[in-house]
Amino acid sequence: MAVLHEHLPFPVRRSVLSVPAVNVRALEKIPGLDCDAVILDLEDSVAPEKKQEARDNLRRVFSAKPETHCEMAIRINPQGSEFVGADLDLVLDLMPDAVLLPKVEEAHEIRAVADILSRKPLDRKPAIWAMIETPKGVLNAAEIAAAGEGIACLVVGLNDLRKETGVLPLPGRSYFVPWLMQVVLAGRAHGVDVIDSVFNDFRDADGFQAECEQGRAMGFSGKMLIHPAQIDAANRSFGPDPAAIAEAEAIVAAFSVAEAQDLNVINLDGKMVERLHLVEAEKLLTRARHMTERKNRP
């Protein structure tokens, strides 16, 4: 196929796996993974002396045009670092689905990268994702989410946020919940997806499942992952369950009958259902259909 990912009008980001660009074996396994998105990392997971090797690896990956249906994002190094210029040149050459900016604290950082991307005349430009992983980034999350048309996703980074705040990594993340919800609210206010932070122990399946359920309950779109073993649980947790799909289908069917055409509120099995519920039901069914089509696409 001509590109790594066929752009679709309704992106799904339940499972977002981070892969170090210096790890050749991990890069080779991407086509066989069932995650919705992959972050090809040039930043934290790559030592300074390995940065060029990592970029060369990504050039080989993209030139091979592997058969993969996941969204491909390249995480570059922070703006102001000695590596970011070469990273952005790579992005302009490879044109991935997205570019992920680390440690974003202000909206002008998004606009600066959007300006660089706009210098290359193309029908399709990479979307911009922003890591929210500092106190200032959390405080400015709404401003960042509203930075422009290019911004598509906020990704929470709790490891750095813990380091900068001194908040302990306690089970349940209770002291982080207000900040996490602040980022979710910022993203939803501006139509931007919000991805929950990584869970650091991929061997702790129960702990990971609990954190996925918490993230889903808080309104996150999906979760950033550190290991392929976490993909299935994230897909299940952040995807619509059969009961929700059945309810959505019932709502759509109830509003489709002739008697309901001019009604804003109907009675469905004893429950009041408004047209706003119809809109949400249609969105959920579109999301479910997209996930099925992606999984079944040859």
Quick one: 95 and 210 in the same domain? yes
Residue 7 falls within a domain, yes or no?
no
3-state secondary structure the chain: CCCCCCCCCCCCCCEEEEEECCCHHHHHCHHHCCCCEEEEECCCCCCHHHHHHHHHHHHHHHHHCCCCCCEEEEECCCCCCCCHHHHHHHHHHHCCCEEEECCCCCHHHHHHHHHHHHCCCCCCCCEEEEEECCHHHHHCHHHHHCCCCCEEEEEECHHHHHHHHCCCCCCCCCCCHHHHHHHHHHHHHCCCEEEECCCCCCCCHHHHHHHHHHHHHHCCCEEEECCHHHHHHHHHHHCCCHHHHHHHHHHHHHHHCHHHCCCCEEEECCEEEEHHHHHHHHHHHHHHHHHHHHHHCC
Closest to 36 (Cα-Cα) out of 265, 273, 234, 267: 234
* 5 within some domain: no
Question: What is the model's pTM?
Answer: 0.87
pLDDT at 5: 41
The reply to whether 146 and 85 lie within a common domain is: yes
Residue 297: per-residue pLDDT: 57
Domain co-membership, 177 together with 275? no
CATH number at residue 45: 3.20.20.60
Indicate whether 192 belongs to any domain.
yes
Confidence of residue 51 (pLDDT cuts 50, 70, 90): very high
pLDDT at 192: 95
Statement to judge: residues 172 and 256 lie in one domain: no
Question: Does residue 231 sit in the same domain as residue 115?
Answer: yes
Last residue of a domain, one of 220, 238, 256: 238
Binding-site members for Mg(2+) are 133, 160
Q: What confidence score (pLDDT) does residue 122 get?
A: 66
Query: Which of residues 250 and 88 earns the better pLDDT score?
Result: 88
In this structure, the answer to whether residues 222 and 255 fall within a common structural domain is: no
Annotated binding site for substrate: 75, 133
Is residue 25's pLDDT more than 70? yes
Question: For residue 267, is it within any domain?
Answer: yes
Q: Which of 85-99, 172-186, 260-274 has the lowest mean pLDDT?
A: 260-274
Confidence of residue 76 (pLDDT cuts 50, 70, 90): very high
**Residue positions in the annotated binding site?**
75, 133, 160
286/198 same-domain check:
no
Q: What is the pLDDT of residues 259-284, one digit of tens each?
A: 888 889 888 888 898 888 888 888 87
> 7 falls in which pLDDT band (50, 70, 90)?
very low
116 in the same domain as 90: yes
In this structure, the answer to whether residues 184 and 288 fall within a common structural domain is no
229 and 202 fall within a common domain = yes
Q: Per-residue pLDDT tens for 102-124?
A: 999 999 999 999 999 888 776 67
Looking at the fold, whether 151 and 288 belong to one and the same domain comes out as: no
Domain end, chosen from 194, 220, 238, is at 238
Q: Is the pLDDT of residue 166 over 80?
A: yes
Count of structural domains, the chain:
2
Residues 232 and 254 in one domain: no
Q: Which domain holds residue 230?
A: 15-238
Which of 238, 258, 275 terminates a domain? The answer is: 238
Least confident of 29-33, 54-58, 209-213, 223-227: 29-33
